[in-house]
Amino acid sequence: MKALIQRVQKGCVSVGGKLLSGVNQGLVILLGVGPDDTREKTQKLARKISHLRIFEDEIGKMNLSLLEVEGEALVVPQFTLYADTRKGHRPSFTDAAPPAVAEPLVTYFVSCLEDLGISTAMGQFGAHMLVEIHNDGPVTILLEV
């Protein structure tokens, strides 16, 4: 499982020109699922992200977690995080989990964040989405479990 997390002042997702969901201060999490990913890996990643100290404290040091700043999370399914570009110029996505495996784990990831007390919104699995990200910092971190 891969997550590209971005600390944001706000973020939102639109599908077909209509606003689907959005968040204010917090994280936009682009989430990719691999074929061998499990619910256990999903829980581990949700815990890691929720406790990752990437928000500034009162003296400007990255020392606070998403939980501590009471931030929100926007989870965007992103199979392209598994792009293989080693050969040719067209990426292959065969390393990404098929939708029947990935979709339930993305939904479970959202519920894990919510269970930790994080207000969470989600993009639409399998849809062509327009994602607006107001990256704060910028802070962007790639995590894998």
Active site (annotated) includes residue 78: yes
The range of the structural domain enclosing residue 96 comes to: 2-135
Q: Residue 76: its pLDDT value, please?
A: 98
Angle among Cα 54, 56, 61 to the nearest 5 degrees reads 95
Record the pTM: 0.97
145 part of a folded domain: no
The model's confidence at residue 71, banded by pLDDT at 50, 70 and 90, is very high
Position 21 in a domain: yes
Annotated active-site residue 140? The verdict is no
What is the number of domains present in the chain? 1
Would residue 11 count as lying in a domain?
Answer: yes
Q: What was the pLDDT predicted at 50?
A: 98
What confidence score (pLDDT) does residue 58 get? 97
Q: Round to whole Å and give the CA distance between 66 and 27.
A: 8
Instruction: Check if 38 is active-site.
Output: no
Mean confidence (pLDDT) of the chain: 97
CATH number at residue 79: 3.50.80.10
- Which of 6, 42, 79, 109 is flagged as catalytic? 79
Does 84 map to a domain? Answer: yes
